[in-house]
A and B are shown apart, each in its own frame.
Chain A
Amino acid sequence: MRESLRRLLLSKWSKAAVFLLALTPFVYYAWRAYLGALTANPVEYTQHFTGDWTLRFLLITLAITPLRKILALPDLIRFRRMLGLFAFFYVCLHFLTYLWPDQDFNLAGMWKDVAKRPFITVGFLGFVLLIPLALTSTKGWIRRLGGKRWQALHRLIYVSALCGVIHYYWLVKSDHRLPLLYGAILAVLLLYRLGNSLLKPRPAISVSSADLPTSLHT
């Protein structure tokens, strides 16, 4: 059972399958856009849709490490970079729906808004923090930075996800159920890591090497 699951995860089609799956929300959105079914406020719908999927992909990406350990499926690591890059893909669309229809590409106006509105500030910060992570997501950059430093840098995703949840929480008017749900999931994922590092105080190198892409172990 486990062996066949492992073989499935390692098959050359698995990455393509995960890629297509991660693209489904975008295809769904494009289909609705084609049908003209983006609600009475298509801009707002697009902003919420892309924001939602950014948060979901950040949480899915952060769930990989705990799932690898809990399910004893280390091969899940193969999909982590792609899932993280999908979070970045959706956040870029999200940012574009702010910069274009909201700000009309007026950068001065955008900066004023970012500086003045805490919910924009924190959302913008969450977006900006993901940029270096996306840029250094290649094997070449892992080599150049060295595993430890690379991993330290990529811990910024914790901060980014937290920014995303706060951004959402501050946006809604009075029904906080969804942002609180995202917040709870994030808390579980981060507390798992905290618990892990407290319970097993191993040398940093061995902990971090387990978290690195398999390609590094060679």
Chain B
Amino acid sequence: MRKFGDLTEADITPKSVYLNRRQILRAMGLAGVAIAGGKVFSRFAFPPAAVQAGTKLDVSIKSPYSTTEKINTFEDVTHYNNFYEFGTDKSDPAKNAQKFRTVPWTVSVEGEVKKPAKYSMDDILKLAPLEERIYRHRCVEGWSIVVPWIGYSLNTILKLAEPTEKAKFVAFQSYYDRGQMPWAEHSGIELPYVEGLRIDEAMHPLTLLCVGMYGESLPNQDGAPVRMVIPWKYGFKSIKSIVKIRCVKGMPPTTWNMYAPNEYGFYSNVNPNVDHPRWSQATERRLGEFLRRKTLMFNGYDQVASLYTGMDLRKNY
């Protein structure tokens, strides 16, 4: 993937210099020209150091976990996003996340592990062969999509870290920078976004560490450069733009649960029999369809049912 070794944008052109350049262009009244030429210009001036949104990924494995259902269009999946750091309207992230800087990027794997490590995106892309996994994705709001994600099971990276006996849960944290995400002020939720899984959920092969979709690296608005995809849980569990993966002893706090504990539980498994207090979860609208369709238990991923035997899923919603 790398084309210029470990160089980052900052190594090639100091930030102050290129910001200055832009200011001068604007001052000269050439803003229009700069914007028009910007895409071409920036390709030469700031080549991708590791991976940027829209970079082709080498996918060698088609996963047996994939559904054969009709895939939603790339347009739909990139223009209908809940990513509150970039605005609360679903059309906001596509506009507001464009300038989000994802290079360089570091993911720290830490906590109750024998071998904590910090990974660059290059490291993450090389840890295991990339797989394409076509998953159903069901939002707690009652809509769903089918997406060809790219990545590998989270357990790959967790096994390398060797969780200790004490590691009962895994806590995730998103990148957060008010400077890059001024829209977050109106999100209503506490940020940085945090999520969590029980260790057995995190180790389940369906649980995907996702670096791309539709054959390319992740677009910014879909959680670049690396996110989780947990297909049997409501979408908000699949945390975006991850910077920290921490093995912990106790159940970690999770963003939407903190905001409204009676509405969003820690588990948040897709469950047509347990309604959200304000709306039914029995049906969903698959984007591209007019009428609603029935929602399936665990979003149709029955193989995870054994993780919850003996648990009251009404209480542990």
Binding site for B on A (CB under 8 A): 39-41, 43-44, 101-102, 104, 113, 116-119, 170-171, 173-177
Contacts and interface: CB of A to CB of B under 8 A. Distances in A.
6 contacts: A40-B79, A44-B143, A102-B292, A104-B292, A118-B278, A174-B84
B279 interface: yes
Contact of B88 (A113, A116, A170, A175): A175
Interface of B: 72, 75-77, 79-80, 84, 88, 90-91, 141, 143, 186-189, 259, 278-280, 285, 287, 290-292
Contacts of A43: 285, 290
Contacts of B287: 40-41
Contacts of B189: 174
A117 B279 contact: yes
A113 B188 contact: no
A174 B76 contact: no
User: Which of B141, B143, B279 lies at the interface centre, i.e. has the most chain A CB atoms within 10 A of its CB?
Assistant: B279
B90 A39 contact: yes
Given A104-B291, A118-B278, A119-B279, A41 B285 contact: yes
Which 6 A-B residue pairs are closest in the complex by CB-CB distance?
Answer: A174-B188, A40-B80, A40-B76, A175-B88, A175-B188, A40-B287
Contacts of A177: 186
Contacts of B77: 40
A107 to B, nearest CB: 16
Contact of B80 (A39, A117, A170, A175): A39
The majority secondary structure among interface residues of chain A is helix
A134 B26 CA distance: 55
A174 B290 CA distance: 27
A39 B90 CA distance: 9
Nearest to B186: A175
Given A40-B79, A174-B88, A113 B280 contact: yes
Contacts, number: 54
A130 B189 CA distance: 35
Contact of A41 (B80, B88, B188, B259): B80
Contact of A174 (B75, B143, B259): B259
A101 B283 CA distance: 12
Contacts of B188: 173-176
A166 to B, nearest CB: 12
B291 A101 contact: yes
A119 B278 CA distance: 7
A101 to B, nearest CB: 5
A117 B76 contact: no
B199 to A, nearest CB: 29
Given A41-B287, A119-B278, A170-B278, A101 B292 contact: yes
Given A39-B91, A101-B290, A117 B143 contact: no
Nearest to B288: A40
A175 B188 CA distance: 5
A41 to B, nearest CB: 6
B225 to A, nearest CB: 23
B286 to A, nearest CB: 10
A119 B142 CA distance: 15
B88 to A, nearest CB: 4
Contacts of A174: 84, 88, 187-189, 259
Contacts of A39: 79-80, 90-91
Nearest to B279: A117
B189 to A, nearest CB: 5
B307 to A, nearest CB: 27
Given A101-B290, A174-B84, A174-B259, A41 B143 contact: yes
Contacts of B72: 40
Nearest to B78: A40
Nearest to A118: B278
A117 B280 contact: yes
B253 to A, nearest CB: 16
Given A41-B143, A173-B188, 10 more contacts: A39-B80, A39-B91, A40-B72, A40-B90, A41-B90, A101-B291, A104-B292, A117-B278, A119-B278, A176-B188
Nearest to B259: A174
A125 B95 CA distance: 37
Nearest to B264: A173
User: Which of A40, A101, A102, A117 lies at the interface centre, i.e. has the most chain B CB atoms within 10 A of its CB?
Assistant: A40
A207 to B, nearest CB: 40
A38 B141 CA distance: 18
B63 to A, nearest CB: 25
A171 B91 CA distance: 18
A175 B91 contact: no
A44 B90 CA distance: 11
A119 B187 CA distance: 21
Contacts of B280: 113, 116-117
A7 B23 CA distance: 52
A41 B278 CA distance: 20
